[in-house]
Structure 1
Amino acid sequence: MAILPRTDLLDEYHSHMAREKTTFAGDFKRFFVRGLAILLPSVLTLWILWQAYLFLDRQVAEPINRGIRAGILLVIPSTVPQAALPTWFVISPSEVERFRQTLAKAGSFEAQRLLKKSDAELTAEIRAQNFKTFWDNHWYFRFIGLVVAISLIYLAGRVLGGFLGRKLYRHIESFMTRIPVFKQVYPHVKQVVEMIFGEKQMAFKRVVLVEYPRKEIWTIGFVTSSGMKSIAEHTGGKTVTVFIPSTPTPFTGFTITVLESQAIDIPITIDEALRFVLTGGVLVPGKQSTGAIDGPMVNPVSPLASSSIDPAQTVVPGPLDPTR
């Protein structure tokens, strides 16, 4: 049997590839994916920042702003002269009556609850609503809550950072960790927060290569410490602790201890190593690139992809075939 190239299948394959490259669908898909890859990081970054702002505005700033507005409403009558009261603060009896009529027409549960209140209580309710409208019309008032929150956090850090503050905080923390359910959750949350914001963050000292998880498989890792004394005594040599990040979440991974002689230093920065791991090896540091991978690219939509016949060669009867 002689093995000869099937030129007809090869011609069909190459003509299909040429048609795919020049069709509108192929161009549209290629440029759409390219545009998505360019725009998506910026769009996602803006969306994440916007969601973070909305969370801070609604969950942090707005409760503080509500407290500030309530305090102002309580202080104004005793500190501001009658003639100098703002227009939103002055409520006439006719306004209260119109408000009652509006509530009666609404018929909702909240409206029925307000209808049971006295004229003085309804006056305070109308005044609070007017003040809320006045507050919302001045958009820069919304940032007061954020400024107050940042100031309070700063003051808490200053107070609790001192000797007496740390001692007081330890007593409060000791009490809270005895509360059922709370004590099961709090230690883990505290550990995560301290890892992210704490002063003693995980420090990667250098980037190394180690044979992990078996020989002849080289894995990038970060040296975090010199290892434990008991391990060094057992191995009889100097050891290092290496953090092996996982893809595509390099903040998770494995911690191993190896002999220092088995950890090979490589001349790349920690940021370059993290990008390499995060992208699954796509972003290779410039000076470390060995060039493009040899070999043809596989087209998953090729009409020959699902065929069991190799397009490069097939078996045909040869000149010594006894059946001919």
Structure 2
Amino acid sequence: MKVLKNREALLGLAILVTMGVIALRFPAFIRPGNLANVFNDTAPLMILAVGQMMVILTKCIDLSVAANLALTGMVAALMNGAGVPLPMVLLTVLAMGAALGAVNGLLIWKVGIPSIVVTLGTMTIFRGVIFLMTAGKWVNAHEMTDGFKALPRTILLGLPVMSWVAVGVILIFAVVLGRTALGRSFFAVGGNPHAAVYAGIDVGRTQFMAFVFSGMLAGLTGYLWVARYAVAYVDIAGGFELDVVAACVIGGIAIAGGAGSIWGAILGALFLGVIKNALPVVGISPFWQMAISGSAIILAVVFNAAQSRPKGRIILREANQ
């Protein structure tokens, strides 16, 4: 029964059960090589889920992550086509992603606009900027250098570099959230903003930092996405922000802020990754993925509400004591 009360254990069990059911009909699905491919396919979602988790912890939401990814990915592709060295491209997308996140954070912190309104607006603006930069044209594989495309796909100790980048991001931010004052501030701001102020925490600045981290990770993912799939265009990763939010909510990150764990967010992303990769195997149209993600969000919110609902007090028993 303890497993049913622990979100991470329950998610891990759900992932294992799902893979077991699929393996009954398609044993090749659980071969190590295929599982490594599933993990690698889910790597962008895991990276973005880490950033989104920090934002949600502070009672905000970032709906612009996929558009940030698309814009930074396009900039990376254009810089590569102009002959800019790869290290400079990587530094640029990290800085640019962080700057785009900072725009969101500043509008929320200094202007007081709700995060959902700000990020809905910047989501559209970012994709509009891509169109203005390219006039709607694509950057295709033949316009990218071999080194630019090869880095995320290079195999290191049995896994592509993109998978190792995801592992590195997870470990780094697990330390940030669990071992630093800033990480504890994310939880404090989301859990009780008023108490956080009395504790000397600047709520607006903390939310700003969460958006900077989210934007920086979106910028990193922008390069990884474009380099791996060898294409950049206006609508790249369209709708991917839903999957990112779904991964967090399924992983037990409280949409009201202040509660959750990075491991829950990662397991939520892996759950969606397994489902996404399993759909073609079992003959279900990939177009159902959006419906499944939306349903999973609703079920997860219901589950979270049921778990967090305070138990009623037995007044008569207390009166008799």
TM (norm. structure 2) is 0.24
Structure with greater contact order relative to length (CA < 8 Å, sep ≥ 6): 2
Q: Return the structure number with greater helix share.
A: 2
If you compute each CA radius of gyration, which structure gives the higher value, 1 or 2?
1
Q: Return the structure number with greater strand share.
A: 1
